[in-house]
Chain A
């Protein structure tokens, strides 16, 4: 009964606070994390095993829907080499700023790697609204941001899979161990690609003829869970498998029927994903907020600056002017989904400490609050300089 009440409270408050934050002009994820923080402070202190399991499903569905609904392999093929240069450079700078910060504070190789991975991805969805409002979506930096975002998730997931596999070793892996990691990853991707190309597509031609209710929807969920489980068996994390499973289904017409997509989205964003974000808030130890020190401030600053400078320099390298490069850099500062998945995995593995966990959640919250404002300012600066010419 207590569990039912917990789930009821989390969902109710996540939707109410999410709506409130949306109305203020910020993404609902902020309200959902706040839900967990508030409930953790006042009501839910223990017995969170069921919530923890539902949150794990939330992370799986979050990454599955990212692959299933958003990533199109054809877009990857169509994107230019120039975009690749800017993308790789900004990810490299963001990763380095996280890794070096961890190294500087003597957090150890693995924790520093997790910091680097958590600093790397971008949540482009956060600033799309600003780009649309300022009529800048089809501008040079706007289209480049959209191309970059396609690679961002994929590179982020790749880095996560490397670091999760590395976490099985207690020290910097040897050459042999790196080869084993690469071999496992390759094996997983090859098996999944074969399943996607030859098995899943044929399977769905039989599934859609089944007489039981919701057969296609059920099998889409089954593929998500299978991919997640198979990744775990291969020593990767479930979310990595879920993402790849989603990408493979995104090209199968029967698995992408609008009616099925809407049900998958309903299960993900109506139930599990808000629970995942709320559980992030619930996992924050309030005591860490009383002791916010230089480390937390530096985590926030370096994460934001890493993207800003990396994006700026990457755009300059491919010939953008200062204003466009600044717009590109600020547009990449927002973090949300994948970053929170990364640190929750790190925490679950005992690699990310409470202090680091809270610092990165705070960094995500600050990035969500400031990036649309800074992006507006950067676009305003460009418009002012154009008018002066």
Chain B
């Protein structure tokens, strides 16, 4: 069982020869998001038509794709929930047929269907802060933006992977 909690975690960590909680947290504080974020991104351009958007969702398996302008400014995001709602609009109960949903479901391009103004973080934010934000606000991934330009994405998985890596270093 991979359950990690309290002192049990520390004992297990010591047995493995990995770091204890305190030093792990200290190390996490020094790690910057820019060093662990994904930079090899699949992005949608604002004018991408619905067909292209569906193709991307079919071809890759990410939950969320950023929508950018021609000069790489982050404009919004499109996630699997939106795509499902658009595809199944006629199957949705009446409560989901809001004005906003209706406008999105007839959107012809990425700008028309995206969620504008996603919460973003900057690349110099620490790993601990990003993780805290994710847990506190129940956000699974952030677009990383420097001066309005999209520079990467970071997910909970990336953070867990990094913490696991730091733990394993003697």
B105 at the interface (CB under 8 A from A): yes
Query: In the complex the two chains form, is A131's CB within 8 Å of B102's CB?
Result: yes
Query: In the complex the two chains form, is B117's CB within 8 Å of A253's CB?
Result: yes
**Distance of A378 Cα from B4 Cα, bound (Å):** 62
Give chain A residues whose Cβ lies under 8 Å from the Cβ of B136: 208
B69 at the interface (CB under 8 A from A): no
Query: In the complex the two chains form, is A132's CB within 8 Å of B103's CB?
Result: no
**Distance of A150 Cα from B100 Cα, bound (Å):** 10
B89 at the interface (CB under 8 A from A): yes
Q: Using known A-B contacts A74-B116, A132-B90, A137-B106, determine if residue A125 contacts B137 with beta carbons closer than 8 Å.
A: no
Interface string of A22-51 (1 = CB under 8 A from B): 100001100000000000000000000000
Q: How large is the interface on A (under 10, 10 to 19, 20 to 34, 35 or more residues)?
A: 20 to 34
In the assembled complex, the CB of B155 is this many whole angstroms from the nearest CB of chain A, namely 16
**Distance of A72 Cα from B100 Cα, bound (Å):** 9
Query: In the complex the two chains form, is B106's CB within 8 Å of A72's CB?
Result: no
Name the segment of B7-15, B26-34, B91-99 touching the other chain.
B91-99
The chain B residue with its CB closest to the CB of A153 is B99
B61 at the interface (CB under 8 A from A): no
B133 at the interface (CB under 8 A from A): yes
B130-149 contacts to A (CB < 8 Å): 133, 136-139
Query: In the complex the two chains form, is A216's CB within 8 Å of B137's CB?
Result: yes
**Distance of A62 Cα from B99 Cα, bound (Å):** 14
The chain B residue with its CB closest to the CB of A127 is B97
Query: In the complex the two chains form, is B138's CB within 8 Å of A259's CB?
Result: yes
Q: Using known A-B contacts A146-B103, A146-B106, A259-B138, determine if residue A72 contacts B116 with beta carbons closer than 8 Å.
A: yes
Query: In the complex the two chains form, is B100's CB within 8 Å of A259's CB?
Result: no
Q: Using known A-B contacts A253-B117, A253-B118, determine if residue A132 contacts B99 with beta carbons closer than 8 Å.
A: no
Give chain B residues whose Cβ lies under 8 Å from the Cβ of A258: 138-139
Query: In the complex the two chains form, is A253's CB within 8 Å of B120's CB?
Result: yes
B positions within 8 Å CB-CB of A: 89-90, 93-95, 97-103, 105-106, 116-120, 133, 136-139
Q: List 19 A-B contacts (CB under 8 A).
A: A22-B93, A27-B94, A28-B95, A74-B116, A124-B99, A128-B98, A128-B99, A129-B94, A133-B90, A137-B102, A137-B106, A142-B106, A146-B99, A251-B116, A253-B117, A253-B119, A254-B119, A258-B139, A259-B137
